[in-house]
Structures are given as structure tokens and as C-alpha cells.
Amino acid sequence: MNRKRGLVLEVLSTSPELQELLVEVDGEKQRAYNYPLFAGPVEVGQEVLLNTTAVELGLGTGGRHFVLPTSPGGKLGAGHIMKLRYTPIQFNALSVEEEDSPYHSQLAAFETLAGMPVVVATLHSLLPTITAALRFKPSGQRREILIAYLMIDGAALPLALSRLVPQLKKTGLIDFTITCGQAFGGDYEAVNLYSGLAAAKVLGADVAVVAMGPGIVGTGTKWGTTAVQQGEAVNTVSVLGGRAVAVPRLSFADPRPRHRGVSHHTLTALGRVALAPAIVALPQLSENQLSLVKRQLVQGKVAQRHLLEIADASYVLPILKDLGIPLSTMGRGAEEERAFFLAGAAGGAVASSLLA
């Protein structure tokens, strides 16, 4: 871990969970994040100690400096479940399952999701189109359903890092959030995805969306990616008696061959890791694009394991534009990555059809 001293020049945005800062480091103005939970709130003119590793490595998502704790952070809250366990910044959280939780008895008695649809995706940037297709009918009429987002710990751990989730909650596309495993900062905390999904059901969700936070770990290899969590999540939904709708990662703009058409991450997660069947939602594409996607899904053993279902939910794109919710993945917008975002919309549309 590389560390440097920096001077806070400006607080660009602030909340109890996250501060975005402009800092001076080595004579240059750079951006940094501060989590008051760990380091307490910081002010303009304050000298801070920064973790500069991500910036020095030139990373994309997460490529910011982070303020390291040198002063007391937030107050000790309720709960006895530790997150970021056995690290210098471990902290306690009130997990929804534990004895002190008001939901403990209900979760202790929980048996099944009873067929509840669960949309399972990988990239965080798919959330807007998934949730918009769940919330809105093609007519533009709102569905009066309760939508839960479960953030798993394959990428960013603090939910506060997400710019999308606050916008989706403000516009009513997400009703509540649950952070699972080592992820933290949701409306509710859960020990793992199993108990997180059980909690979503107990809390009254009609449908759930499972995806990791911003960022994803990839190494250009088949198994060295956190995207395999998609397959694990499909299995979890099946064990609990839910109905999994998997969103494939599609692209016809990504210059990397391994992500062209169907990403190799999807082929591994759904073709090798997911042992239980799911519905794989596909958007309406051009004849050539759909032919390539189907061929890749057959070659990757995805089509043999799962049910492929095509759904057109392109109507959500203007809805999201009207709501002021931006669409971006790997620096590319909806025009460049239309197939990517429409795959998310198709997942939401398929899941909403299961509600009927």
C-alpha cells in the first residue's frame, strides 16, 4: 500500500457515508474519497494521509486516493457482526439476521423465496435498465411493487461509492438495499447472499436484483474474475426456491475480443459455475448480432443449461433519460453500448412477467 500526505483543498460533495475531495498531492490537484466511518469527516485545509495505490496503478473504477484513518471515525453503533473482519479497519454492523435484529425470528423461521423472481447481473452499470424495466410497463405506467437491490462483495465494498443507487432510490426504481458479505452501507446488512435474499423476502420485496458494486476484478483469464459470482448467485436463488433471471454481459463496442458479443465472463459464470437452471434474458438485436450471441451461448454450454428468452424493453431508455439517470459502462454510453444496456432491460422485463 502506497501512502502520501495530502492537503484538502475542497470538499466537492459530502454525506454521512462519503466525502469526495479535491486534494493537493506532490504539488498536483487530485481527487480523493473519505469514509467518515473510518477517518471521521475532514475539512478544507486539513492534512490527510492518503492511500495512493490505485491512482499510481492507473486503475479505472476505484482509481482515486482514499483517506486513511489517523483520527477517530464514527461512533460505535449497534450490532455484533464484524465487517472487513480482522483488518485494522474492521467495524461492527447490525446484521439483519442476528439476535438483536427485529427480523431475527422471522429469518430464523424462513424457508423459501416461494418463486420470487431474482435478476442476477454482474456489472453495476446494468442497474438502471434492470430496475426501470421492473418498475415501468411498456405503457409507461408504474408497477406498484417493492424492489430490493442486493449488493454482493465482488467489487466495491462500500455502497456509498455508488453514484447510481442514490439516484435509483430517489426516483423510486429501488425501494431498499441490502449489502451482503463484506459489502457494507446498505439499508440492511446481511452475512451472505443467502440470508440477504431471505431478508429481502421477509422485508416484503416482490422482486430482487443481485449485482456487485462499482468495479469488477478481471485478469483476462477464465477463472480469475469476480464475475463468476453471477453463477454462484444463480445457484443461491435456486437453493432458496426463487426464480433466477440472468443478465448476460453483451457488447458490440468493446475492442477486446473476449468481451465481443457475449463476454467470456458470462460464458464461464452461466456455462460452468451455475449448476441450477435460470432464464437468460436476451434483448431484441439485429439478425447478425442475435445469431452471434446465440452461437456463443451454445458453444459456451449456456443454452443447454438454461432457458433463453428474448424480451424487448427498449422503452426504458427514454424513461431513464427523462428521469435524468445516466447510462455509462467502461466510459461508453447507451448509443455505443445499446446491446449491453438492453440486456439489463430484458432481464427486468422477463422478471416482471414472472410476477404476473
Examine domains 3-67 and 104-355 and report if their fold is the same.
Answer: no
Are 114 and 201 a contacting pair, CB within 8 Å?
yes
Q: What is the pLDDT of residue 57?
A: 85
pLDDT tens-digit readout, 135-148: 999 999 999 999 99
> CATH says 3-67 is which class?
mainly beta
Most confident of 74-78, 222-226, 302-306: 302-306
Q: What is the pLDDT of residue 131?
A: 98
Left, alpha or beta for 241 (phi > 0: left; psi -120 to 50: alpha)? left
Mean pLDDT, the chain, rounded, equals 94
In the chain, where does DSSP find H-type helix?
36-39, 53-57, 104-108, 127-135, 164-170, 193-202, 229-239, 264-268, 287-299, 302-305, 316-323, 338-355
Q: Where are the domains of the chain?
A: 3-67, 104-355
**What percent of the chain lies above the pLDDT cut of 90?**
85
pTM: 0.94
Tally the C-alpha atoms within 13 A of residue 257's C-alpha that lie toward its C-beta: 1
pLDDT exceeds cutoff 80 at 75:
no
Cα separation, 70 vs 5, in Å, equals 12
CATH of domain 104-355: 3.40.50
Cα separation, 190 vs 138, in Å, equals 34
Sheet with 147-152, strands from edge to edge, namely: 188-190, 176-180, 147-152, 207-212, 117-120, 243-246, 279-282, 307-310
